[in-house]
Structure 1
Amino acid sequence: MTDEPRIVVDGTALTCTEVVRAAEQRASIVVDAAVWERVGQAHEKAQTASAARPVYGRTTGVGANRDAVVAAGDASTHDLRLLLSHAAGVGDLLDARTTRAAMLIRLNQLTAAGSGIHPRFPEALEQALRTGALPAVHITGTIGTGDLTALAEIALTLIGRRPWVHGHVPPVVAGPGDALAFMSSSAVTLARAALACEELSRLLDASHVVAALSYCALGGSAEAFAEEVHARRPHPGAVRTAAEMRRILWHEGELGPGRRIQDPFGLRAFPQVQGAALDGAAQLRRVLEIEINAAAENPLIDVDSGAVFHHGQFSTAYPALALDHVRAAVHHVAELSAARLGDLVEPDLTGLPAFLADGPVGSSGVMILEYVAHDALGRLRHSAGPVTLGTSVISRGLEDHASFSPHAAGSALAAAAAYRTLLACELVAATRALRIAGTPPRGHVLAAAFAHVTARLPDIRPDHQLGDEIRIAEELLDDLAAS
């Protein structure tokens, strides 16, 4: 018997959190037995429809070859040719975590029973996930109209035409219609987006605690977090942020003006800026959880009626735009973190030595943290640029729009990495300031978080290398997210 949590796959209820758990091998995968009948029915309906009418990718070519009719005796080799010709991925290989996430998402989408694929393909995916078998999947070659190159590589691995990176499952046969049915998805992009969404959400949660520590070091005013203030302009994220700050700062004193009549923006405008990022992350999660549970294959096979629908559900404008929005919002939050770091090294705001130095005259203290933080902020700024302003015209002019959602997802992962470093720099400085001042937080929530941080971060006052402390602080952020 095992206590490992299970993720039940049925094409309707997979969450971003479950995708990450499976990707990190913290949960087992079980397909709901009831879905196999509908997957089989969809396959039969697809076969029947293909015998009666043209069906894109099954009885025809793809892209600008959509009017090219596949000869009846050439159906099986047509599917193999489709997979071979589309498996042109280049560049870096996906890491194991992302590959597992993509396989789970594609499995879940296939169990929604709209592709018409033969059940042996989702069965093989389930077996691969259960046994830890991993295909080699390249990251380059997709523009937001389906991850064709990456999914062709996975399909070719499943049929024994490409080697496994780790483990293996017995090869399956690609029958008529299976190639496009498997490739018609953005599962890899959605996997990367789900991982980014979870990472950004964790960091945003942790930033409440980090900002609260800076608040204590700077003698901030709690008036900016007052319930009465946010009830008059009730954006959900801002209301949530203010409530979270009140919870974390409980027992730190009555609502009052603090040391100053008005704090710098890093404290005073934190709920408004942080709130927009929380709302952006929540919207991204809603979009992704629709996408990862979608039967969005083109064409769609309707199990109940047997009808075939050709459509544009391959477009990933929704996730691309949501990813663009959340990256821009996180950049604003990161700017406030950098601003608070600047406040923490300013004697007029802390009453402590410049740069929190503790040593002979001219000691640098944590001066270099601002350089590291602004390097990270610069990288985040580059990652925050919108990708959805571009498009492409391909396949002899017939496919004339692309969302570039894969690039939006990649940029979100890069933004999260940069934000983690920046937030860690603020955490190191806030912890040092509180230690030098000898004023640890009093509230039980923040006091417990501070104790956890100080148990890991060394208290070295003379000038020294800070790289190890930044790395420790980066790791601590995951713990603070659960505070």
Structure 2
Amino acid sequence: MTTDITLDGTTLTCEQVGAVARGEARVAVGSTAAAQAAWRASSQLHGPVYGRTTGVGANKDVAVHEQGLDLVRSHAGGAGPLVEEERARAMLVIRLNQILRGGSGVNPGVLPVLAYAINEGFTPPVRLYGAIGTGDLTALSTAALCLTGEVPWRRASWSPEQGPSFALSGSDALPFMSANAMTLGDAALACAGLRPLLDASIGVAAQSWRAVDASDEPLEQPVQDARRHPGQARVATRLRRLLVPGPSPRLQDPYGYRALPQVHGAAFDALDTAEQVVTTDMNSAAENPLIAGGRAWHNGNFHTAPVALALDALRAALVQTASLSTARLATMMEPAYTGLIPFLADRPGASGALILEYVAYDALATLRNLAAPVTLGGAVLSRSVEDHAGFGTQAARACLATREPYEIVLACELVAAVRAQRQRGRSCDVPLDPRMQDRPLDADIEAARTVLPAFA
């Protein structure tokens, strides 16, 4: 059953973007008053207005009288494969919400048309490459040409189809395409997708805790009160609830256990920050020029520096938590922590679960590559007029790409933890294959991936 989400330009969330993008919710258009006001004001502007009466980029000082739709035609030149329909739909949801916020000056007649496209499964054929964090020009230009009927919509993944149309005018061209809706769509999907995985990582860690009888002393309230980071306290509290207190055979455990609240807590804090930044931009009128107070304000609100910085931090934090997961996996291969045969094998000399470490470290290496900070880059374009870039687009793409390898790392840890508990004669109701003999473990890893949501 789908639900309706009313867009009003101010309250859209990452979870809602994800639900609509996956087809689990529909959108309804709320009050159009702010969009109507900006549109009326834009029609009464006098003097040079960037992108309306002038060219763009280095052509900002060139007067243009009849630009028409050539601007979107010239900017619809993306490259590479088509992005998934889910991502293109997320872009449409966010652009619709941003126009409702007011400030763009786009004809509000396009709003119900965009809502219809979203709800009926029409998406523009957006190509992967073409933005650097200063506006998703190629993606939104392609969407604009779908609205005018010059480019066919996609529907049902493979079938180009003539869909809903709207007669955008030349004065709508730059206001419609000059936004970061594609970047923010990817970022919203990443935040919404990573939260349940981070939640699951705590439940998986609890299984490892039981497998090696790790000490719960690092989780106790006096420790948390001494260092008041909110994420750390949240993680420690949840772990205490999942574990049964008991003595540990060791004075201090490895960092994979002892420092888990600090490392995982920092990741939750980074995710909270990223989601807050993305939510702010999804509900902002980050338009250039901004139509407000009866005039056009030329500005740099299109720049994705806040988004890029927050997403860089989030990806780095994920690597830290995945690194601790592989550390816990290593302890479960070691008899000193489990009292079992090395590698959780069923007999001495057998390989048991050894391959899990290779798989997990391969996925961890991928996460490290994805964590390279985009904010260290730079760009000079359009005859040096546009002399900086935020690369929030690349940060958002990389965040989306982290979900699979992070999931695999957690799945490897879970397979080992369940295996160790069973070998120690402890009840464990996780539905994974109970066989202990040497055999391919790929099916076990995939099964563990499917049960991760239960640990969230």
Flag structure 2 segments of 5+ consecutive residues without an equivalent: 156-160
Amino acid at match of 1:463: D
Q: Does 1:282 align with 2:272?
A: yes
Q: Is the 8 A contact 2:38 2:102 kept in 1?
A: yes
1:211 pairs with one of 205, 209, 216: 205
Match of 2:245 in 1: 253
Which of 426, 429, 437 in structure 2 is aligned with 1:462?
A: 437
Please name the residue that 1:22 is paired with.
20
Structure 1 residue aligned with 2:305: 317
Secondary structure of residue in 2 paired with 1:363: coil
For residue 47 of structure 1, what is the aligned residue in structure 2?
A: 43
Residue by residue over 1:100-131, the C-alpha shift from the partner in whole angstroms, topping out at 9 and shown as x without a partner, is 11110111001111100011222221110121
1:80 aligned to 2:69?
yes
1 CA distance for matches of 2:403 and 2:375? 19
Displacement of 1:388 after TM fit? Answer: 0.4
Task: Please give the secondary structure, in 1, of the residue aligned with 2:452.
Answer: helix
State the match for 1:437 in structure 2: 424
Quote the residue 1:399 is aligned against: 386
Comparing 389-398 and 129-138, the one that deviates more: 129-138
* Residues 232 and 264 in structure 2, CA contact (< 8 A), matched pair in contact too: yes
Structure 1 residue 168 displacement after superposition: 4.3
Distance 2:9 2:250 in 1: 54
Q: How many angstroms does 1:193 deviate by?
A: 0.9
Q: How does 1:78-477 map to 2 (within 5 A)?
A: 78-166=67-155, 168-249=162-243, 252-254=244-246, 256=247, 258-302=248-292, 305-359=293-347, 361-440=348-427, 450-451=428-429, 453-454=430-431, 457-477=432-452
1:83-104, CA deviations, whole angstroms, 9 ceiling, x for partnerless residues? 1100010011110111111110
Moved more, 159-168 or 311-320: 159-168
Aligned-residue offset at 1:79? 3.4
Q: Does structure 1 conserve the Cα–Cα contact (< 8 Å) formed by 2:147 and 2:168?
A: no
1:475 Cα deviation after fit: 1.6
Question: Is contact 2:322–2:406 with CA below 8 Å preserved after alignment?
Answer: yes
Render the CA deviation track for 1:176-220: whole Å, top value 9, x for unaligned: 321111111111111111111122211110010000000000101
Normalised by the length of structure 1, the TM-score is 0.92
TM-score scaled to structure 2, two decimals? Answer: 0.97
Name whichever of 409-418 and 361-370 sits farther off. 409-418
Pairwise CA distance, 1:153:
0.6
Aligned to 1:65: 59
Between the two proteins, the alignment pairs up a number of residues equal to 451
The separation in 2 between residues aligned to 1:273 and 1:280, in whole angstroms, is 11
Where structure 1 has 5 or more consecutive residues not aligned to the other structure, the ranges are 441-449
Instruction: Give CA-to-partner distance per residue, 1:442-479, whole Å, 9 cap, x none.
Output: xxxxxxxx52x22xx11111111111111111121122
Partner AA of 1:5 in structure 2 = T
Q: Shift of the alpha carbon at 1:345?
A: 0.8
